[in-house]
Amino acid sequence: MPEGDSIFRAARGLERALAGRTVSRFDSVFPRLTNPLEDTPLVGRVIERVEARGKHLLIWFSGGIVLRTHMRMHGSWHIYRPGERWQRPHHDMRIVIETPDIHAVAFNVPIAEFETAESLERAEPIRNLGPDPLQDGFDARVVIDRLRDRPDLEIADALLDQRAIAGIGNIYKSETLFASRVSPFTLVMQLTDEQLATTVATAARLLRVNVAETSRGMSTYGGTRRTTGRLDPGARFWVYGRGGKPCRRCGTRIERAKQGQHARSTYWCPRCQPAVTSASRLDPDRG
């Protein structure tokens, strides 16, 4: 699933390509997007800006109309010149925004809604978002307080709660906890203030490194993300996706387990991240 850094980079690319341009054509396979435009068409409106909020991508049009999309597992936005061949099949198209010299196409985006500036702030997915480490004014203290409000959650699940901190997904969850030397199965109530502060700071740092100007990219996820700082494409992550392989720090076998209500995969090093909960909390899936 695309995470906060991917959406941020996609929004930045769309902003640079589209901001200030006038819509010449809009099309979508979603009737919920095309039907309202019979009375308030987008054609002729100016694209004012594009921004990311957590895992949501917002395209602002003149007249106070906002297109909110969420990528879920497989969605992505692409940019093309008129006449340029799409890199995805036409049946994957969900939204097309055309200007005279730039076309933006959303593929396999499952969630797309029109909002106004007023309704956007009332929309539950936006209203309930926690602080976003990639936004100006990010307040780690608010995140810590919101995590503390979830004392009975294992920290890996708590980090995935977008109401506590926006933008973290499965990759950053595992990588953050490894870098912080915290077992993913530790309950929030069992973490010291220092451990929790370190975890939040580490998550923010890893996200920010991956949206630096040297990390360009347009598609939602193009394989440029890395947390180790290594240039080797085969050494991008510390633990994520490395179940059964040796830890890059200590050589211990990296473990993988399904965790939480939604059985999301978690990767960790038992030696670098010593467990503080019983084995009954784990649901090993070490294929």
Q: What is the DSSP string of 23-53?
A: P-EEEES-HHHHTGGGTS--TT-BEEEEEEE
Span 67-85, average pLDDT: 93
143-196 pLDDT per residue, tens:
999 999 999 999 999 999 999 999 999 999 999 999 999 999 999 999 999 999
pLDDT of 263 > 90? The answer is no
pLDDT of 203 > 80? The answer is yes
Domain(s) labelled CATH 1.10.8.50 in the chain stretch across 140-284
- Our answer to whether residue 213 is catalytic in this structure is no
Catalytic option among 2, 131, 133, 184: 2
pLDDT of 282 > 50? The answer is no
| Nearest residue to 168 (alpha-carbon basis) of 121, 254, 246, 227 | 227
State phi, psi for 284 to the nearest 5 degrees: -60, 140
Q: How far apart are the C-alpha atoms of 23 and 72, rounded to whole Å?
A: 26
Average pLDDT over all residues of the chain: 89
- Our answer to whether residue 3 is catalytic in this structure is yes
Q: What pLDDT, on the 0 to 100 scale, is given for residue 35?
A: 84
- Our answer to whether residue 274 is catalytic in this structure is no
Domain(s) labelled CATH 3.20.190.10 in the chain stretch across 4-127
Q: What pLDDT, on the 0 to 100 scale, is given for residue 1?
A: 59
pLDDT of 19 > 50? The answer is yes
109, two tokens = 């985006």
Under CATH, to which class is 140-284 assigned?
Answer: mainly alpha
Catalytic option among 55, 154, 184, 255: 55
Q: Which of 213-217, 229-233, 262-266 has the highest mean pLDDT?
A: 262-266
Span 235-244, average pLDDT: 94
**Rounded (10°) CA dihedral 77, 79, 80, 86:** -20
CATH number of 4-127: 3.20.190.10
Contact 86, 105 (CB under 8 A): yes
Span 50-79, average pLDDT: 93
Residue 32 buriedness (CB in 10 A; 0-12 / 13-18 / 19+): exposed
Categorize the per-residue pLDDT at 93 as very low, low, confident or very high, splitting at 50, 70 and 90.
very high
Q: How far apart are the C-alpha atoms of 78 and 127, rounded to whole Å?
A: 27
Which amino acid belongs to residue 204?
A
Q: What pLDDT, on the 0 to 100 scale, is given for residue 213?
A: 67
